[in-house]
Structure 1
């Protein structure tokens, strides 16, 4: 791996073409270059091809967020600029096209964004370091930027673990997150949280959670010779 690039990825099942696809994004670490390249791997064809990169050059997310057959990442135009110029870039697995969605704007404030999918909706977590809080936003109507709505604002001193990206948000406004090495459930409506008595191993790197249907076809079911599913 070239040390001059940030590396991130996204993985998902392309229902239209009945294929599993892996998207790799390489963003240059060189200041103000704003360059990235994208590679797409298809499990069905066992092939990899290069695709023209995103306009917003620096793709920061550790891994892409899959929703509506699109993979989403947080991206910035500038390498060392604050999050005021952050936006969402996405890749459509079926059409193999790129696009972007603007995030809510913060003026003259140092912010950092994280994304997640929960309840079939796209959420944005904005860490406002000078404000000492995390703003949680939900996009109520997909790809409609005007539908961004602030779901909650949580101070660091209330739930220190909120600084990291939460794992899940339910319909009652409860946020599942990791506090130290424990899973906790925080209620954004009354600022009460409880320890679920579930131990989380001390792993390096970010912990993610994914929802899945048991009917999903396993990658192991692909025939080695012709790529068909059996």
Structure 2
């Protein structure tokens, strides 16, 4: 961990047990960074690193039907930890942990059917609610935006001119984390968020 005050790096404690990290980017909420990991038994889990006390802990998963990490993604939605469960060509389930750290507070917020609603997309990311909370803005395949109506279960495309072919939309939270994700570490280039999403989508296609 790098300390701005001391202007130096220091090594943190090792993780007790074996966890294979899925994805490079930690999700920050509740004073901790969270990753989807694979346990020695091959099942998905959530591993958190508490920045305050500098230790690792597991966070209970929602009761998913899917046990493959390549069909899961984790984001922040409505200030809550959010798990996306992909059922390719069928639907995408959106789970949220309503009370952080409480395992039984996970609930399925909504599902987006495919191809009825979003055609054959590979990924969606919920961004935020509309003002009346009847719609959710979705980022679809890092290529387009759609408003999804929770009651009617229909989606409409948001038309924005001059959007790049691939983009990544984030809700801004003031922090010291650099917005420049496309960096190099030890001579190895770290994938930007859109590139990482594209890689995960390709891995889902292979299953």
Partner of 2:164: 201
Distance of 1:54 and 1:132 partners within structure 2? 37
Distance (whole Å) between structure 2 residues aligned to residue 180 and residue 49 of structure 1:
36
TM-aligned CA deviation for residue 47 of structure 1: 1.9
- Residue 169 (structure 1) shift: 3.2
**Match of residue 36 from structure 1:** none
Q: Distance in 2 between matches of 1:71 and 1:186?
A: 29
- Match in the other structure for 2:100: 142
Distance in 1, matches of 2:32 and 2:20, equals 19
So what's the TM-score if we normalise by structure 1? Answer: 0.63
TM-score (norm 2): 0.69
Deviation at 1:138, TM superposition (A): 0.9
**What secondary structure sits across from 1:45 in the alignment?**
coil
1:186 positional shift: 1.6
- Displacement of 1:76 in angstroms is 0.9
Higher helix share: 2
Matched, 1:125 2:84: yes
Query: Are 1:115 and 2:115 matched, yes or no?
Result: no
Partner residue in 1 for 2:46: 88
Runs (4 or more) in structure 1 with deviation over 4 Å come to: 107-111, 216-219
Classify 1:140/1:173 alpha carbon distance in 2 versus 1 (closer, same or farther; 3 Å).
farther
Are the equivalent residues in 2 in contact too, given 1:169–1:175 (CA < 8 A)? yes
The number of residue pairs the alignment matches comes to 171
Residue 105 of structure 1: aligned partner: 63
RMSD, matched Cα: 2.9
- 2:189 corresponds in structure 1 to none
1:156–1:163 contact (8 Å) kept in structure 2: no
The CA deviation at 1:42 is: 2.3
Cα distance, 1:200–1:42 mapped onto 2, change above 3 Å: farther
Summarize deviations over 1:60-82 as a string: whole Å, max 9, x none.
Answer: 12311111221111111149x4x
Alpha-carbon spacing, 1:149–1:114, altered in 2? closer, same or farther (3 Å) = same
**Gaps (5+ residues) in structure 1?**
1-39, 220-230
Is there any run of 5+ residues in structure 2 with no aligned partner, and where?
A: 179-207
SS in 2 for 1:141: coil
How far residue 154 of structure 1 moved from its aligned partner, in angstroms, is 1.6
Which has the larger strand fraction?
A: 1
